[in-house]
Amino acid sequence: MAAKSKFAERLPVLEDFIHKTGRAPTLDEIRSLFKVRSKNTASIIAGKFVEAGTLARTGTGRLAVPPQARATPLRILGSVAAGFPSPAEEALLDTLTLDEYLIAHPESTFMLKVEGDSMIDAGILPGDTVLVERGRTARNGDTVIACVDGEWTMKHFYKDKSGIRLEPANIKYTTIRPKRTLAIEGVVCSVIRKLV
């Protein structure tokens, strides 16, 4: 045996559906998702997923995405100096999801891991993750992902009368003035560091 249980087989398919549609499937969609012909079977399958917490139900019995799988609206506090609000104030706080905050163009945005310390003086450390928007036009001072003479690198972008130059944020490295080929592949829109 050790054959994967039906449940385990179906779980990733369901998760994929939720990712793609942003909502829970209906029983009919479960039928076509798992190639079962009976609504009863679909209902039983749905029940298992609800039990497992992969799906939830609305007040009227419809299938829904459970809270923990949803985009989290984070409460926004003022500043470090202000500290945490009292429970009474907390209800008044504005909320924002990280997506809303950081991603303007979902189709062209990528996550990229930072290697090396060439941007360390700009507070971009090795191991950080950056969100890169592809196809965006770089402006002076932007942090860009560029391909210079076949090498991929992250630098500050500047353009003046004498052409384009790429400046690292680390005195150990020197400014690059591309000789042969230069492609600005994307602009770094945000920096993310996971601490714990």
Catalytic residue ranges:
118, 155
Residue 45 interacts with which of DNA, a copy of itself, none, CB < 5 to 8 Å by class: DNA
Given a contact cutoff of 8 angstroms between Cβ atoms, the answer to whether 42 and 18 are in contact is no
User: Using the 8-state DSSP alphabet, how is residue 16 labeled?
Assistant: H
Using CB under 8 A, which of the segments 31-39, 41-49, 121-129, 163-171 binds a copy of itself? 121-129
Closest approach of DNA to the CB of residue 34, in Å: 7
| CA-based nearest residue to 119, from 104, 138, 141 | 141
Among 37, 161, 179, 194, binds DNA (CB under 7 A): 37
Minimum CB–partner distance for residue 48 and DNA (Å): 8
Query: At its nearest, how many Å lie between DNA and the CB of residue 26?
Result: 3
Q: Write out the binding residues for DNA, residues 136-165 only, by CB under 7 A.
A: none
What is the C-alpha separation between 185 and 14, in angstroms, rounded? Answer: 34
Rounded to whole angstroms, the Cα distance separating 66 from 84 reads: 28
Choose the one of a copy of itself, DNA, none that binds residue 6, judging by a C-beta under 5 to 8 angstroms depending on kind: DNA
Taking a C-beta distance cutoff of 8 angstroms, is the pair 24, 55 a contact?
yes
Only segment of 23-31, 73-81, 109-117, 145-153 that touches DNA (CB under 7 A): 23-31
According to DSSP, the residues that pair with 32 across neighbouring strands are: none
Cα gap 31→46, rounded to integer Å: 10
d(CA 55, CA 48): 9
Residues that bind DNA (CB under 7 A): 1, 3, 6-7, 24, 26-28, 34, 36-47, 58, 60-63
